[in-house]
Amino acid sequence: MSKVGFIGLGIMGAPMAGHLIAGGHEVYLSDLKPVPKYLIEQGGKPCANSKDVAQKADIIITMVPDTPHVESALFGTPGVAEGLAPGKIVVDMSSISPLETKRFAEKINQLRCQYLDAPVSGGEVGAKAATLTIMVGGPEDVFNKIKPLFELMGKNITLVGGNGDGQTCKVANQIIVALTIEAVGEALLFASKAGADPARVRQALMGGFASSKILEIHGERMIKRAFDPGFRIELHQKDLNLALAGARALHLSLPHTASCQELFNACAARGGSQWDHSALVRALEWQANHTIDQRGGAGEVLD
């Protein structure tokens, strides 16, 4: 049994922490909001702040929305760094800047502690089912120590390379996810506008080379208009900002990543920051003056 701290108990973090508790570990919990009651009932131990978590746990996991939130949790007052003792391990499972991740790792290493970046993919469904993909950057010996914890939360667990490489892998993942959501949206919109039943088109495509998790899950969301998150558009905007900023630094062009970001921006401009990222299709529908749940013709798009 390990003493594990978990900071960040949102849509993803709460079920991930729950799996660690169910795995028999002593889990110390902290969030800006009150710790969910069900986690306490399962045996989780609420803490006053991030420093308190770090003082009580040997392994400290952060799962928060963005780079500034990780920096605040780690190095703010009272933060994780203030509660660390030599030999402890910090694992950031958020999706943040690869460059800032390397800086955070150096600062934690200076405290004679170890650091892993371990962002995840799989969304709320994967977090609840413990089937997340986990992309890890950091020393191999530290990865091997933490891997049993990762196995309680995910299925596809890969040590990608050194610190920062896990985050780089996650940015690449988010590029693929965004472009695939856009492709599925275009395909289903085309089918619907042509008069075909998009649900049956999706069913047929699921048996062919175009099959994907995004066609399976987000294609259904598009057809059923089920845009409650999931994974919020504003978070995918953040991830694509990291991709585009990295591309500029590398003197690299990512034209379709940029176009997907503009579609997300269009949704956000119409109040959709909190929609599931599958709602990117709405930006395509506005341009077509047609929604996927219509059948043929133009029709007025009101949503």
Active site residues: 170
- Do 5 and 47 touch, CB atoms closer than 8 A? yes
- Do 158 and 149 touch, CB atoms closer than 8 A? no
Cα–Cα nearest to 77, from 99, 101, 50: 50
Q: What residues pair up with 4 in beta bridges, in sequence order?
A: 27, 59
How big is the CA angle at 169 (ends 114 and 112), to the nearest 5 degrees?
Answer: 10
Cβ neighbourhood burial of 97 (10 Å; 0-12, 13-18, 19+) = buried
Give dist(CA 291, CA 148) in Å, integer. 45
Residue 150: which residues within 8 A CB-CB, separation 6 or more? 118, 134, 136, 157
Give dist(CA 279, CA 272) in Å, integer. 8
Cα–Cα nearest to 30, from 15, 13, 42: 13
Give dist(CA 135, CA 119) in Å, integer. 6
Measured torsion, CA atoms of residues 152, 232, 10, 76, in degrees rounded to the nearest 10: 110
